[in-house]
Amino acid sequence: MPALLTRVLDLLMLQGTVTEAEPVASRMRRLRIEGPALAGLDPRPGQQVRVLVDGSLTRRTYSVWRYDPSGAVELCVLDHPKAGPGARWGRSARTGDTVRLGKPEGSFVLRPDAAHHVFVGDETASVAFGAMLAALPDGAPVSGCLETESADDRLPLPHAGRLTWSLRGATSLPDAVRGLSPAPGGVAYVAGEARTVQQVRQTLVRDAGWDRRAVLTKPFWAPGKRGLE
């Protein structure tokens, strides 16, 4: 990377160092990134950061898994040899690597005062859901439906025992939501594959009578669309 570009990026982005890297699910690695510039960011549960992933200007977006106010951001990144630049970065990242990332952003965040919380999504939604669930007290009313490719793809989520887990292809997420029959009056967080997200939203609004404003959506990926990993 040219020296001038490096200096510009250092001014525009935060910088940290990978201090921990370990598998957290069959296709996910947890990266802990630490540095003085990462102190005091105060991300809201569910927010994301943009990371430079290939030594140039390619950026990928990752939900914040955990945050330490003293100056550490934890991400769960895809570990897959045949995926795009984000997954290649996630697979190859090692302790000691320098990482440039933006400040936490995004409106897909926990509404802590909701009467109850419904979580619906796939593997890509699990990281944001983990941060949201961790921010809820033990007695908070929680339900939801999550699907994964295999049981080994499930992240260790807080309140996981209150969620319904399924394998992809066993049942669709809209059908799982119909079986769950979540009563209106709370907030639903729906994330994952773009078309499925819209189908679940329609199921909640049209079939279950939810207010549209109470269904928060985040399409993390779509088949064939670059940049959503």
CATH number of the domain residue 54 falls in: 2.40.30.10
> Residue 142 is part of a domain; what is its CATH number?
3.40.50.80
pLDDT of residue 106: 97
> Which residue in 101, 76, 105, 104 sits closest to 90, CA to CA?
76
- pLDDT grade for 228, boundaries at 50, 70 and 90: very low
Residues ≥6 apart with Cβ < 8 Å to 168? 122, 147, 148, 149
Q: Establish how many alpha carbons lie within 13 A of residue 217's alpha carbon, considering only the half-sphere containing its beta carbon.
A: 18
Counted domains in the chain: 2
**Residues 49-89 pLDDT 10s:** 999 997 678 999 999 999 999 999 999 998 877 678 888 89
Residue 109 lies in a domain: no
- Residue 64, domain extent: 3-101
Residues 164, 76 share a domain: no
Residues ≥6 apart with Cβ < 8 Å to 123? 25, 27, 28, 148, 149, 153, 155, 192
Give mean pLDDT, residues 172-187.
96
Residues 208, 157 share a domain: yes
Residues 210, 121 share a domain: yes
Q: What is the crossing angle of helices 173-180 and 194-202, to 10°?
A: 30
Coil, strand or helix at 40: coil
Q: Check if the beta carbon of residue 101 is closer than 8 Å to that of residue 61.
A: no
Which residue in the block uniquely carries the two structure tokens 């933006």?
Answer: 102
Coil, strand or helix at 53: coil
Q: Percent of the chain scored above 70 by pLDDT? A: 92
Residues 95, 52 share a domain: yes
Q: Which residues of 171-184 are buried (b: 16+ CB within 10 A; e: fewer)?
A: ebbbebbbebebee
Q: Check if the beta carbon of residue 190 is closer than 8 Å to that of residue 121.
A: yes
Give mean pLDDT, residues 102-117.
97
Residues 215, 188: Cα–Cα separation, whole Å: 5
pLDDT at 226 over 60: no
pLDDT at 108 over 70: yes
Q: Could you say which of 67, 101, 135 is where a domain stops? A: 101
Residues 178, 86 share a domain: no
Give mean pLDDT, residues 34-42.
97
**Residues 116-156 pLDDT 10s:** 999 999 999 999 999 999 999 989 999 999 999 999 999 99
Residue 129 lies in a domain: yes
User: Mean of the per-residue pLDDT values for the chain?
Assistant: 92
pTM here? 0.93
Residue 110 lies in a domain: no
Q: Could you say which of 101, 136, 159 is where a domain stops? A: 101
Give mean pLDDT, residues 152-167.
94
